[in-house]
Structure 1
Amino acid sequence: MPQRNGRLRTGKVGARKGKAVTRKLRTVTAAALLALGVTLVVPLPQAAQAADPTTDYCQGQCGDILPPGENGNATLADILAHKVFGTRPAHAADQLGPYANLATGYPSLTDATLTNFFNDASFGVPSGQVASVTTPRADVTITRDKKTGVPHIKGTTRDGTEYGAGYAAAQDRLWLMDLFRHVGRGQLSSFAGGAPANQQLEQEFWRAAPYTEADLQAQVDQITAGNGARGQQALADAQAYVNGINAYITQSKNGRYFPGEYVLTGQIDAITNAGEIQPFKLTDLIALGSVIGALFGSGGGGEVQSAISLLAAQQKYGVTQGTTVWETFRERNDPEAMLTVHDGSSFPYAGKPANPQGAAMPEPGTVVAEPLVYDQTGGAATAAKTPVKAGPLKAAQGIFDNGALPANLFSTKKGMSNALVVSGAHTASGHPLAVFGPQTGYFAPQLLMLQELQGPGISARGASFAGLGMYVELGRGQDYAWSATSAGQDITDTYAVELCQDAVHYVYHGVCTAMEKLERVNSWKPTVADSTAAGSYRMQVYRTAYGPVEYRATVGGKAVAYTTLRSSYRHEADSIIGFQMLNDPGFVHDAATFQQATQHINYTFNWFYADSRQTAYYNSGTNPVRAAGVDPSFPVKAEAAYEWQGWNPASNTATYTPPAQHPQSVDQDYYVSWNNKQAKDFTSAGFGNGPVHRGDLLNDRVKKLVATGGVTRSALTKAMADAALTDLRGEDVLPELLRVLRSAPVTDPQLITAVQQLSDWGTAGSKRKETSAGSHVYANADAVRTMDAWWPLLIDGAFRPGLGDGLYAALTANLSIDESPSAGHGPTGAHAGSAFQYGWWSYADKDLRTVLGDPVQGWTPQAFCGGGTLGACRDVLLATLKQAVAKPATTVYPADANCSAGDQWCSDTIIQRPLGGITQDKISWQNRPTFQQVVEFPAHR
């Protein structure tokens, strides 16, 4: 839908035309569907009744938001109406406006006005706000509120509660759940069409997690192993959840109100209703869980790329100095990095060993990626399209021509989840405060869905990943709330298996052993939704005891295969016990029991907690105990001496670091996290975690609030929102850049203007913010454009001459130079919101401070910029700045499918990546979680 008068339209037709368009819509849609022979049979709503009251200790002080809206399913009629008239189903977009409007509304925010930007996250639904009550079974009701349509599920039995959760999940996310269970099996193209994006996505996922049906079933069976009654209950909960999903599938199919994408992708015939929606089974939940775990809960890997850049550094400088330079850029344990646990506690993990042993470094130039795709026919290699004949469906033609899901969903590094938590000692009320949430990308519908679960042993409201909603995964209980950010600590290692006999046999404990060959064949035909020509291909992965093969190389003159082993591999369902505990009011009642629950989660997350009395933090994940001397940053020999301690290849279990060694804390003055370093000596998994990190944007603001005292919910929300509009480069690197530039008079008139514009922008707060709501024009627009153009040029000019082309290229492969909002990155590609997680900000900051003679820890004595000379560095900055100023806006912000060339605001905008037939309006850029809570509990049980 277009935007008019600068105001966001969220699925509603204009007031003057509403009635006329609605009448026309009914007539045209009905006629179109009758022409297809389609009859929509929708269940009659039951009498609206209030959900049963539940004890709620938040007393109206809990809020949440998840744009664009709760309703993620659209019938064929809904999709056609959207394509023709721009209308959307109810509750498909009603959370997008409040979410977007915080960007301009936060400066005047008060506790009383928080409800303008967040939903009321209280338990239950007041009688006057009940929109509908559904009873899918006698022992459960699903009550939906008028404002957001969120399902409030209340069961009189445990089984009924979970059945209702599955039923509600299918009501709101059935098509999305189906997409992801197919991704988890490497079968997306066969299901949703052969668009190149679908092929790329399933290939990237299946290479890393090539599970067979037996593998998936084994993980179902593991739920009960060693988990006693909780394991038995978890398995029963999951089965009841699946039963609820399948009940809705049957009813919606028979009633013809199932998601319209099934027709558009050829699964169901629009006229005869022939075809079926495959029922869900427990192994589908494992496939779904493996996708979510791969997206947000795994860390490490990349050891081969690290080895390549180390070898390049040693080739440039020699072994000793080259290693020192490489370690400088690696920033494993940078002394200047901002920490979530900042009380001085040390939690050593995955550091550089004093005497490295067992490294398997490739010989230069020998690394090649393992082939994955074979026997490709048609599809992407064929330009022919099958046009849709004239008719009602033509309006929805090609909705998946660019893929049903983003092609780079797995290849792009994830981040952006953030948390701000303040202890009661520093708040106005004396009770802790939290503003926190995960970033799962921007999609329509979202990967997450909101729900409330109330039943025997379950009491929670919040967000759950679609298809995994038997428990609330991020949300609140009766008198506590919790959330998470991606931690990404290193739980993935690369092993070099020596080949023997041929390319598909390897030495395992002295015996020449055959690799396991795994295959997946996908084929597709053109459909309305995806007009890619018919085609097929085969994926092939070789798996060893040390995991799937990813690369081939030569080490010490011997041919090897590099494999990837992740501690959570083949354990995608293990975390279910931890989530069950978080939903159990009988288990979690304070910081200690919260930490105990999160200890059962094997994904790499930072967990945060707040109730009326305590705050807490815990870093989860199955962190393997490595053999003495193994450096986790590099590939290691696949020999018994260098395996994880206690490793059992049959089950992929090992000895893990005990809970006491995981970063954790209770009642620290405050906690902030934006995917930054967790604690002292806890080694960062990737490059570039140094003194300038987007976590500093939060830390600086919250630290200031805490020092003043009397923090309120609105003040903490303002801190988050202000950081969300700030350009990290402008706030934390521009001051040093200006000091170097102004170390001597600037004489070029064009550069005088540019330097002054940059300076004014920095003084104004380095924001990327509209001049006024709906203006679509940035304040300090010229300075923003200059910085966007200048940053990659100044990094190249400052570092490439000193590092040399080879090493510079290797290091930029380890860590990209820039991640501005307008760049094509993030979990949804361009227009992804997430920015400033990965870049050379810390390198530039350290190098500039070295040039300026400031104290610097953890950097080379000789700066790179200008060879370390202030005057020469200044010359580099001036020369690259002049190049940047000369770049027109049309070059800095090129046109794409959504924006014209030179449109700065549009280039930054967030677009909810459509995962079905309903699209959403663009919103202004915010560097902010997708789902977010604002909580303050005034009471406790």
Structure 2
Amino acid sequence: MRSRFGRFRTKIRTAAAAAVLALGASLVAPLPMAAHAAPVTDYCQGRCSDILPPGENGNATLAQILLNQIFGTQPEHAEDQLGPYANLAGGYQNLTDATINNFFNDASFGVPAGQVASTTSPRSDVTITRDKKTGVPHISGTTRYGTEFGAGYAAAQDRLWLMDLFRHVGRGQLTSFAGGAPANQGLEQEFWRAAPYTEEDLQAQIDWIATQNGERGRQALADVNAYVDGINAYIAASDSGRYFPGEYVLTGHKDAITNAGTIERFKSTDLIALASVIGALFGTGGGGEVTNALSLLAAQQKYGVAEGTRVWESFRERNDPEAVLTVHDGESFPYAVRPENPRGLALPDAGSVTVEPLVYDRTGSAGTAKASAASKSATTTALSANTRGMSNALLVSGAHTASGHPIAVFGPQTGYFAPQLLMLQEIQGPGISARGASFAGLSMYVELGRGQDYAWSATTSAQDITDTYTVELCQDDVHYLYRGTCTAMEKLERGNSWKPTTADGTAAGSYRMQIYRTKYGPVTHRATVGGKKVAYVALRSSYMHEADSVVGFQMLNDPAAVTDAASFQQAVQHINYTFNWFYADSREAAYFNSGANPVRAADVDPTFPVRAEPAYEWSGFDPAHNTADHTPASEHPQSVGQDYYVSWNNRQAKDYDAAGFGNGSVHRGNLLDDRVKKLVAAGGVTRAQLTKAMADAALTDLRGEDVLPDLLKVLRSGTVSDPAVSAAVTKLSDWVTAGAKRRETSPGSHTYADADAVRIMDAWWPLLVKAQFEPGLGSELYGALTANLTVDEAPSAGHGPTGSHAGSAFQYGWWSYVDKDIRAVLGEPVRGGLARTYCGGGDLAACRDVLTGTLKQAAARTSAQVYPGDENCSAGDQWCADTVIHRTLGGIKHGKISWQNRPTYQQVVEFPAHR
């Protein structure tokens, strides 16, 4: 969306005169005051804080957009949380409990009388009160309907344009709604591929909730209907009052002068479309079995079947004994483990795999160039389904805190967008009492936040709930064998067209997307297996069931449903998204891993494609509703009262496969685990100390802290005679001693301390990995393994899965492989080591030559070469290359902030009392 809303100049000039008419119409005229819900006791007693940049106000009139684009002015509350959030990077070292709210909001319930900025009553049974500091809506209702109506009204006040965008993204119709910019095309392609739903499919999910979830399901649907009514009430009011978001004018949906045009009203199926996007982005795991098969075949081709499999498995690190674990007390939770003798494997014939086209032009030809360009743009400038791993959590039990009560610092990393995908709110009404963050358009409940005497949060777990089945084709390319019968694939199409509505000259155009769907899910690849033509299809357990999780979220908001750690765990069991859930009250800290984990047939290896035959199907699989047997709650990783918990998308527990490569000896979870472990050992942990541990990890280069010390050992195992290499070693060593941080010399300096060392590390890592591993693996196998796991994800590495300027970094990379291999060369003990030693063929002197040669190359690279610049930064600007930039999904843009690797929404909580 950045390309669409980043260049408004021509449009601005032509619309400016008409926009002035809207300057005064930016607030809803309040209706008569409503009755408030009964007051509730806030057991946090001022010790709950939160933050969500850039600001609560995500809607702007046309006039406000124009002023922002021309003069840089911000609508009220559009970015007032950005400064405190950014400032923690420079201020955390002197943090105390008393100064936490210099960097966070007071997350107490209610609004003090002197801090009330406005009150709005869209109905007589609900009041929306906003505070002066942040503009967060505090929704207070006397009836359940009125409460949820108010939640919908407040959501539309703050995020109407974003909600409208994403209901179109979920339907694969964004370009028809907002124009054909490459990022728009990439968004709709990425998500429609993951969830290609028809309107009938969306309605079926609503019907399923009503029939399968009892009274809570029926209440959820009533809440959804009230919420949608509230959204539509705001649309009607803002349309007639002309204070609707200005993007509707800039995209041609409304006329600034005549007010002609329509803002389409919402319906309940729109929320299912929204949920499908969120589920695909953050709440799924697994897949990639075809890519896994290709790298396994490459390993077997190089080394033979037995040795090649052993080499491949060592890189897969399924159950690495050195991996950081969330449940670290030794308890085992086996899931998706590798069988001794796997059955039903369907590995492709060499060279036969092709990716199923998604994009076609109107003549029926595959639009591969357009698709790849759009997908690249989406990955690097907007959202991508590959960004599913983020978020972190740090919790310490009361036995190790100064107060004797558990402390939590936790939150989701949902990326940085303008407006933000999440929104803050407080909801108080019959059966609901919570404050926190919710995804815009799904905020009938608080999804991450706090109740009266407890708080909860989540990180993405991404355990494997997606399997690739191999259907044998029959008759032609669009028929397949289903349980012995030749069956036609279902063809799903989505056509899109757009007009040239942007000032940057984006041309009008059209294309269509096409997916073939089978009983086992959508087709992703085609190949041959044993000479027979097949299609690979992706079966996800949450497919057609993204909305089922609503019951779990409803329970989290219900003070009668959640009263302690055990009832919290019972609530999140109803959430089928793959999340790690964390809980804290005054007495207990707890953890539970949610997700619809399918019960697989015996001896099926979910890491690779399997034949689509009854013997290899999920237990109890019913393709009509995509239901199956799921593993019981007792088999999910869980814990109550462990000394501490950390999570940064690392492995959950012993024997629990975390779906994918990169969960070995070095993971960014180590940055949290090492710091919290030290705090716990010392005892007397405070809120400030735990926050400082998070903030310190957020500025640390994982490679510098956990891998570089051993690289320096190899370099110093002999004489370093080259002056350039010697100077680089000194700089890197000094950087390690200083903590391997990527932070400014002083707040606002826009210059890094140890800038040369950071530059050298950034230049060296990709050169080092390639020189260390490619000679031993061979180019084909090395290339196949780097397709499974990217080599590098430094903050400035725009090629990483999260793209550039995304904040989140160091999740994906070859950190563990380099670490294990280098320690093996040094002769140090390695548990779960690689099958072979690669650096210099295992010879220390030869390995030192590899490191010396690549380090010399890296040290010679200039800042302009390492940081080549982009549309946001000049070449050579190291600080800017790392910066976090809020990607514009609307007309308002915000400034850069210094890099920090932390949750987008974050809470700091310590409850001193309980009901």
Q: TM class by shorter-chain length? A: over 0.9
SS state at 2:600 partner: coil
Letter in 1 for 2:403: S
Corresponding residue of 1:348: 334
Letter in 2 for 1:111: D
Corresponding residue of 2:856: 882
The structural deviation recorded for 1:862 is 3.7
Contact 1:46 1:132 in 2 (8 A): no
Q: Deviations over 1:686-709 (max 9, x none)?
A: 101101000000000000000000
Matching of residue 501 in structure 1 with residue 486 in structure 2: no
**Aligned residue among 424, 436, 440 for 1:462:** 436
The structural deviation recorded for 1:118 is 0.3
Letter in 2 for 1:538: R
The structural deviation recorded for 1:54 is 2.4
Corresponding residue of 2:756: 782
Contact 1:826 1:832 in 2 (8 A): no
Letter in 2 for 1:482: W
**Aligned residue among 435, 441, 445 for 1:471:** 445
User: What CA distance in whole angstroms lies between the structure 2 residues aligned with 1:29 and 1:924?
Assistant: 35
Equivalence map 1:281-680=2 (5 Å):
281-376=267-362, 409-528=383-502, 531-680=505-654
SS state at 2:677 partner: helix
The 4+ residue runs of structure 1 with deviation greater than 3 A are 28-31, 34-53, 400-408, 528-531, 825-828
Matching of residue 107 in structure 1 with residue 81 in structure 2: no
Contact 2:30 2:122 in 1 (8 A): no
Q: Deviations over 1:22-76 (max 9, x none)?
A: xxxxxx9997227889984754457999976421000000000000000000000
Residues 435-444 or 400-409, more deviating: 400-409
SS state at 1:482 partner: strand
Contact 1:377 1:537 in 2 (8 A): no
Corresponding residue of 2:895: 921
SS state at 1:463 partner: strand
Change (3 A) 1:405 1:493: closer
**Aligned residue among 814, 820, 837 for 1:846:** 820
User: What CA distance in whole angstroms lies between the structure 1 residues aligned with 2:338 and 2:568?
Assistant: 32
Corresponding residue of 1:33: 18
Contact 1:140 1:161 in 2 (8 A): yes
Letter in 2 for 1:124: G
What is the RMSD computed on CA atoms of the aligned residues?
A: 2.2
The structural deviation recorded for 1:214 is 0.3
Contact 1:194 1:530 in 2 (8 A): no
Equivalence map 1:902-921=2 (5 Å):
902-921=876-895
**Aligned residue among 104, 111, 118 for 1:132:** 118
The structural deviation recorded for 1:629 is 1.2
Matching of residue 682 in structure 1 with residue 668 in structure 2: no
Contact 1:778 1:905 in 2 (8 A): yes
Letter in 2 for 1:686: G
Q: Deviations over 1:465-513 (max 9, x none)?
A: 0000000000000000000000000000000100000000000000000
Change (3 A) 1:264 1:869: same
Letter in 2 for 1:673: S
User: What CA distance in whole angstroms lies between the structure 2 residues aligned with 1:789 and 1:699?
Assistant: 28
User: What CA distance in whole angstroms lies between the structure 1 residues aligned with 2:772 and 2:836?
Assistant: 13
Corresponding residue of 1:823: 797
Letter in 1 for 2:216: R
**Aligned residue among 134, 137, 140 for 1:151:** 137
SS state at 1:762 partner: helix
User: What CA distance in whole angstroms lies between the structure 1 residues aligned with 2:176 and 2:529?
Assistant: 39
Corresponding residue of 2:10: none
SS state at 1:250 partner: helix
Contact 1:51 1:125 in 2 (8 A): no
Q: TM-score, normalised by structure 1?
A: 0.93
User: What CA distance in whole angstroms lies between the structure 2 residues aligned with 1:405 and 1:725?
Assistant: 24
Q: Deviations over 1:256-307 (max 9, x none)?
A: 0000000000111112111111110010000000000000000000000000
Corresponding residue of 2:46: 60
User: What CA distance in whole angstroms lies between the structure 1 residues aligned with 2:258 and 2:141?
Assistant: 37
**Aligned residue among 274, 277, 280 for 2:260:** 274
Letter in 2 for 1:235: L
Residues 238-247 or 852-861, more deviating: 852-861
Q: Deviations over 1:143-174 (max 9, x none)?
A: 00000000000000000000000000000000
Contact 2:151 2:443 in 1 (8 A): yes
Letter in 2 for 1:32: A
Contact 2:33 2:121 in 1 (8 A): no
Contact 1:705 1:711 in 2 (8 A): yes
Corresponding residue of 1:5: none
The structural deviation recorded for 1:829 is 2.7
Corresponding residue of 1:702: 676
Letter in 1 for 2:491: K
User: What CA distance in whole angstroms lies between the structure 2 residues aligned with 1:214 and 1:248?
Assistant: 27
The structural deviation recorded for 1:830 is 1.0
Matching of residue 899 in structure 1 with residue 885 in structure 2: no
Change (3 A) 1:405 1:762: closer
Change (3 A) 1:47 1:775: farther
Q: Deviations over 1:1-36 (max 9, x none)?
A: xxxxxxxxxxxxxxxxxxxxxxxxxxx999722788
Residues 530-539 or 612-621, more deviating: 530-539
Letter in 1 for 2:306: T
Equivalence map 1:66-215=2 (5 Å):
66-215=52-201
Q: Deviations over 1:502-527 (max 9, x none)?
A: 00000000000000011111011011
Equivalence map 1:195-274=2 (5 Å):
195-274=181-260
The structural deviation recorded for 1:415 is 2.2
User: What CA distance in whole angstroms lies between the structure 2 residues aligned with 1:841 and 1:538?
Assistant: 41
Quick one: percent identity of the two aligned structures? 75
SS state at 2:574 partner: coil
Contact 1:50 1:127 in 2 (8 A): no
Contact 1:79 1:918 in 2 (8 A): yes
User: What CA distance in whole angstroms lies between the structure 2 residues aligned with 1:185 and 1:55?
Assistant: 42
Change (3 A) 1:429 1:559: same
Change (3 A) 1:288 1:279: same
Matching of residue 749 in structure 1 with residue 735 in structure 2: no
SS state at 1:161 partner: helix
- Structure 2 stretches of 5 or more lacking a match? 1-12
Q: Deviations over 1:783-812 (max 9, x none)?
A: 000000000000000000000000000000
Contact 1:345 1:680 in 2 (8 A): yes
Residues 825-834 or 461-470, more deviating: 825-834
User: What CA distance in whole angstroms lies between the structure 2 residues aligned with 1:841 and 1:146?
Assistant: 46
SS state at 1:223 partner: helix
The structural deviation recorded for 1:405 is 9.7
User: What CA distance in whole angstroms lies between the structure 2 residues aligned with 1:937 and 1:560?
Assistant: 57
